[in-house]
Amino acid sequence: MSVLPDQHVINQIISGHYADPFSLLGMHSVSAGLEVRALLPDADQVWVIDVEKGKQVAELRRYDERGFFVGLIPRRKNAFRYKLEVRWGENLHVIDDPYRFGTLLQELDIWLLAEGTHLRPYEKLGAHPQTLDDVDGVSFAVWAPNATRVSVVGEFNFWDGRRHPMRQRRENGIWELFIPAVHEGQLYKFEIIDCRGNITLRADPYAFEAQMRPDTASCVRKIPDVVPFSETRKKANALNQPVSVYEVHLGSWRRHTDDNFWLSYGELAEQLVSYAKWMGFTHIELMPVNEHPFDGSWGYQPLGMYAPTRRFGTPMDFKAFVDAAHDAGLNVILDWVPGHFPSDSHGLAEFDGTALYEYADPREGYHQDWNTLIYNYGRHEVRNYLAGNGFYWIERFGIDGLRVDAVASMIYRDYSRKAGEWIPNYYGGRENLEAIAFLKYTNQTIGRELGGAVTLAEESTDYPGVTMPPDANGLGFHYKWNLGWMHDSLQYMQLDPVHRKYHHNLMTFGVLYAYSENFILPLSHDEVVHGKKSLLDRMPGDTWQKFANLRAYYGFMWAHPGKKLLFMGGEFAQGREWNFDASLDWHLLDDPAGWHSGVQHLVRDLNLTYQANAPLYELDYNPRGFEWLVVDDHENSIFAFARRDENGGEVIVISNFTPVPREHYRIGITRPGRYHEILNTDSHFYRGSNVGNCGDVYSENIGHHQREHSISITIPPLATVYLRREEA
């Protein structure tokens, strides 16, 4: 006979408060045969169809007027494939019952997800179109161990949390459900009844696409195909290669002139990629493209970690953009933010009613500076969520490197906190041991599994070993932003030339620690916002001197040990601060003979010269590649050094940071010979005064600077000159 459920249980499932739907719904063996139970609100009639026989085998009767149906198939003991034929008014639909399918996660996946070592958690969690038992649909899975019930809601079920409650895998707190007939492109969320009884609607933490703000639903999308890592892309990231990075905010690089609307990923693939290639950059670095609710965060407060922002197009559009960059010979670096996340109600904050993704204590889990939450790096599932995300962007979109934002805020518990506002670690120290372990694990895993991809740290302190391997007690990054060099050199350049002789060490100090890490020299977006002025506007003097100072500074930077990074607009000396809500001032280039065009052509030539001359990059991280020739001429504010490569090539670099030209300036050199002037920032091509050395300079057997040979040159005012040693 039928074993009917208790009315209290039926009330619970109809009200959406029953946490074990598979124990009630679907096909169950009873003493009299097989019983099928279904929750179909507003349905009028329901029949069970034997798929193999292709006919109705039982009618389900409405056991509860609110849509709970029960029917017995007598004298049958073995479960079989079935469908439900449902009549809603005049409409008749044949549907597959989600509650006839078995568990989705395999034991190995459950183990690895709980352990926090699943390389690709995004292949199991989230929403995945697939075919089960010849039925097309979507499998959903979400981690919410402390929730009392989780349902999938979306366009396919009237956003009704009663219709598709999920199965909880008690082994690891993941809820799962396969829903037939759901297809790619449909919107969904998870309706969660948390441990306090509150009902919340949450976007999928693993969603591959999200709605355009202010809407917040997730969108069913297939996971992108794996992008093979070519040898060319691997080589371009190497320590002994030229790396010149163009940092870009996609929403404000260029906009449509008629409505100030963003360019699409497709338009950026045409315009930005071709421009960066023409300018001679080797890499494009994108400020965060993860979905984020607030434009003014520039992407640094992400919620959709697995979803490229919908502002500029679809995930496949973004992937096509990356492909276009690769086709043009450019590598793509993604600004990646595992350091914090906003507390928006549709996001991760108290996801299941508890501090699931964040630390519970605000002294650990709240960023005062940014009004955001901090990930609990000690929780295995959170570490897996973040490390897997880095893996995802590299493997599925072809991203070549991850620039990790605000590393210092992650690794120090007292970051931007006063005494009493932070909790020491287990040993009483200020280091966040869990965050350090997470960074080591992520960097080591990417290095081992995705050889060729790189990670870059924006780390603002002197934490030791940022670019050392984890097994040597380092953090395992490939590169570190040299923020110390940036601050010192900009401080020097902002001085009136008459005062620079008193601060000469600001330009030389960086070499003392240049080989302690694998440094990138960054002039990033952070230096042209919040009242800091543009790079051009920081330069002292009249218009001519401002532009000359900037050109000389760029020349010094491109020759200094370390890879290069320049934020958009800096390449043509934009005069105003960056505004994320408007296009760069491209009209400044309307005059091809103007000051701004001159700087643009200089940066292009710097990039091309840099790539064409191995001494400028090959030994960036080896002291053999650098030698000071003039380091102590404070009075004249002159610096001279040699850059060398593995094969004996040499480029001598001389910078004059005063507006006074220096004629017959003698510099002692190590290797005699002919030196050819390959770049001069004072050239008339760059709108300079065109003072120079007419091509070649020959060494003389005149001792100087404790060296047997020397050269006598003319050094232009506020300029940097490159001289390449030529074979006889």
Catalytically active residues are 405, 458
Tokens representing 345 are 């109600």
Q: Whole-angstrom Cα distance, residue 533 to residue 524?
A: 13
Q: How far is CA 567 from CA 523, 570, 577, in A?
A: 6, 6, 12
- Phi and psi angles of residue 725, each rounded to the nearest 5 degrees, phi first: -75, 125
- Exposure string of 199-234, with b = 16+ CB inside 10 Å and e = fewer, is ebebbbbbbbbbbebeebbbbbbebbeebebeeebb
Q: Whole-angstrom Cα distance, residue 387 to residue 405?
A: 14
Looking only at the bridges linking them, the beta strands covering 218-219 and 187-193 are: antiparallel
Tokens representing 42 are 């507003």
Looking only at the bridges linking them, the beta strands covering 174-180 and 149-154 are: unpaired
Taken in order 98, 102, 103, 105, is the CA torsion positive or negative?
A: negative
Looking only at the bridges linking them, the beta strands covering 366-367 and 454-457 are: unpaired
Q: 412: closest CA among 436, 440, 386?
A: 436
Q: Whole-angstrom Cα distance, residue 715 to residue 664?
A: 8
Q: Whole-angstrom Cα distance, residue 191 to residue 164?
A: 10
Q: Which amino acid is at 213?
A: R
Helix (H, G, I), strand (E, B) or coil at 28: strand
Helix (H, G, I), strand (E, B) or coil at 521: strand
What pairs with residue 431 in β-bridges?
A: 412
Q: Whole-angstrom Cα distance, residue 526 to residue 547?
A: 21
Q: Whole-angstrom Cα distance, residue 555 to residue 722?
A: 8
Looking only at the bridges linking them, the beta strands covering 331-336 and 401-404 are: parallel
Taken in order 308, 312, 318, 322, is the CA torsion positive or negative?
A: negative
Query: Would you give the DSSP letter of residue 613?
Result: -
- Exposure string of 492-526, with b = 16+ CB inside 10 Å and e = fewer, is bbebebeebeeebebbeebbeebbbbbbbbbbbbb
Q: How far is CA 204 from CA 109, 149, 344, 607, in A?
A: 19, 15, 13, 42
Q: Whole-angstrom Cα distance, residue 377 to residue 654?
A: 47
Q: 626: closest CA among 655, 588, 652?
A: 652
Tokens representing 142 are 């979400």
SS (H, E, C) 70-116: EEEEECCCCCCCEEEEEEECCEEEEECCHHHCCCCCCHHHHHHHHHC
Query: Would you give the DSSP letter of residue 418?
Result: -
Helix (H, G, I), strand (E, B) or coil at 271: helix
Taken in order 466, 571, 651, 560, is the CA torsion positive or negative?
A: negative
